[in-house]
Structure 1
């Protein structure tokens, strides 16, 4: 059985092609839009909602059946059609350098889209390797219940605190101790966070 390694990637300057115009293509596009918008959709037709997103974000839409030239230079190919012949053609002819997400048969690809939970700089990816998307959604819901609404601001504060302490002439042990204290005793109030940062800036 093929194993997938969890990996966060930067999509800047990557060529992404979504082949298909239905609900799967829509889900993949929604997943990608927060991180990257220079995407090409290849499909003779698309759903109304997908069409709205294409117009809103000025996504390139090639209104034709998939051909080799559509994906020959792609870094990420998303196969999202219900045509087995086209799906297999893409799998067989995809460039060796391309990442492939095969929604019709996950084992034909080398990239999977996990369920994600995002709170600012905090990102949590959940996958069951295709065994049970329902379980993955249940786990996401359970984690959401454990994360306060202020977590996005709190994680940003932790980033500022770590960046500030790295600039201070403190021992590594003290830096670690201060950062650990912020995890053991979280500061969620914005004013208290600024007070803590001010105190560290003026540490003698």
Structure 2
């Protein structure tokens, strides 16, 4: 397996989704946080995809795929059931593009793992194509372990870490404080605010 899990900064990345079916719809849903940079190319679409396109104001080129549509793309999602179109895109895609090929996963150079996101916390799960069912099962198990307050808690950890880094104390003491708020989680907003205020007083 030649894939390395990592997170890609999608700011200003041009995304092209080619296809108008269920797979294109699923990929679009995953990429909606970057909707300003998405272009969808397909002569037709499913009704549910059509609703997504219009409710999120996605740029939809209602035509057959052409080189001009993806020659400057940073991320290309190939999600058609037309082998000729799929092969055309694979052959002509920019060498620098990240390509997700739904028709033949190994033909592309990126996959969409099962993902869990709670604010700044992101967890990706993949079985390398061995069992999507297992990946979904693992997602449910992980989600069940995360308290409802976890998004707020991670935001608290972020703010606390920024303040601790600025304190005039030794590196080991900073490390001890960082470990403390993870080993003994502080979930209530009142306690978090008190902790932050205490750090600010030490600055």
Indicate if the aligned counterparts of 1:12 and 1:36 stay in contact, CA closer than 8 A: no
Residue 67 of structure 2 corresponds to 68
- Aligned-pair RMSD on alpha carbons? 1.2
Give the drift of 1:36: 4.1
Alpha-carbon separation, structure 1, partners of 2:52 and 2:115: 20
- With normalisation by structure 2, the TM-score equals 0.96
Indicate if the aligned counterparts of 2:35 and 2:58 stay in contact, CA closer than 8 A: no
Question: Are 2:13 and 1:14 equivalent residues in the alignment?
Answer: yes
- With normalisation by structure 1, the TM-score equals 0.96
Indicate if the aligned counterparts of 1:11 and 1:36 stay in contact, CA closer than 8 A: no
Q: How many residues align?
A: 203
Structure 1: stretches of 5+ with no match in the other structure: none
Spell out, residue by residue over 1:145-200, the C-alpha distance to the aligned partner (whole angstroms, 9 max, x if none). Answer: 11111100000000011001111101111111011011111000000111111112
Residue 112 of structure 1 corresponds to 111
Give the drift of 1:37: 3.1
1:74-153 mapped onto 2 (5 Å cutoff): 74-153=73-152
Alpha-carbon separation, structure 2, partners of 1:24 and 1:37: 20
Q: What secondary structure sits across from 1:40 in the alignment? A: strand
Indicate if the aligned counterparts of 1:119 and 1:152 stay in contact, CA closer than 8 A: yes
Moved over 6 A (4+): none
Structure 2: stretches of 5+ with no match in the other structure: none
Spell out, residue by residue over 1:117-166, the C-alpha distance to the aligned partner (whole angstroms, 9 max, x if none). Answer: 00111000111111111111011101011111110000000001100111
